[in-house]
Amino acid sequence: MNTKQNPKAPEVIETPTPPAAAESGIPESAIPDLRTPHTVGNGMSKKEAMQIRMQNMSRKEIFYLRKKRLVENIWPVFRFLILFGLGFVILTPLIFMVSYGFRSASDMNDPTIIWIPRHVSLKVMKETIQAMGLLRSPLNRGNPLVNTILINLGCSVFQVLSCAVTGYGFARFQFKGKKLLFGIVILMILVPVQVISIPLYMTFKNFFFGTVNLIDSYAVMYLPAMTANGIRAGLMIFIFRQFFRGLPKELEDAAYLDGCGPLGTFLRVMAPNAASAFLTVFLFSIVWYWNDFYTSSVFFSNTKTMALVLKNLDAAINIEIFKNANANVSAREKIVWLEAGCLISITPMLILYACLQKHFTEGIERSGLVG
């Protein structure tokens, strides 16, 4: 008959007793009791635990620890002040434009009104839109908004495509003169457009051996964008080059094994993986073409864009609103129409950035411009 045996009782391991408080010089309440189960610190506060640690530290280590603690306590305050200051500098002009754009002109003569208007009105906005010519017919390029959109979208699409192909060539192919040509791309970033504006003007005025005059036509903006020479094209080529260099080489090798050529590999493999870079460059291009004033003022005489209209808004207000080109109106009273014009001009860019902010920041991070 089998009998069940009781399991052997576990042995009790005795732990050494802690040294006496008088011998160690540490308060008895701060010494953990090793003979009884306890949590980490045995109920000690952070201050008591730090005092025990500091007794075995040198003066240099104590100084470093106190310095680190001081920095950890002060840095959040400085970070808040820096972010608050940057936010104030960036948002103040926008709040200023909103406040002035939706108030009546009579509020400008009241010194007690600073930020919040007493009479909220859309009259100033309507008059500004009319003065800027945004309600005109788009025929004969009479509407600045339509002109800007056509130039903006067309040039942005052409420039993204041409800069993507150029950046891919610099990132993946080896050819003679590659370093020299990439140095020219860097010069495109560094050299201001004013240096080449006169040669460009003469080229477009006497285009195709002097048989065609392209001045005051959309072609003066489209052609440079199609050949990767548009506004800030050097920077966009650099963004694409950095992005394509970061993609695995195995993607191209697999495409070549499947029978794709260089163009097919770019269109079917590399371009879909570079969607964030395409979006980033497209947004950059839209913003720069929208805000461009210098290039438009050089090549356009009758074609008006938003930037050109905004620059001449003061004279347009005198003609359209006060019916006198030489009207003597104080700047304090006229500023409501000027601020309304600035607000109208930047509103499309604010809406675009608000809708695509996440993709925009992701594209910058992955393109190699930061990090």
pLDDT for the residue numbered 30: 46
- Prediction pTM value: 0.73
pLDDT, tens digit, 9 for 90 and up, residues 285-329: 999 999 888 988 899 988 888 989 988 888 888 888 888 878 777
Q: What is the DSSP string of 23-39?
A: HHTS-GGGS--TTS---
Which fold would CATH assign to domain 133-311? MetI-like fold (1.10.3720)
pLDDT for the residue numbered 369: 54
pLDDT for the residue numbered 366: 63
Half-sphere exposure of 159 (CA within 13 A, CB side): 31
Q: What parts of the chain have a pLDDT lower than 50?
A: 1-22, 24, 26, 29-40, 371
Minimal CA–CA distance to 346: which of 308, 306, 309? 306
Half-sphere exposure of 282 (CA within 13 A, CB side): 18
Dihedral sign of CA atoms 356, 362, 367, 371 in order: positive
Triad 181, 255, 278: Cα angle to 5°: 55
pLDDT for the residue numbered 42: 58
Distance CA 25, CA 13 (A): 28
Task: Output DSSP code: residue 103.
Answer: B
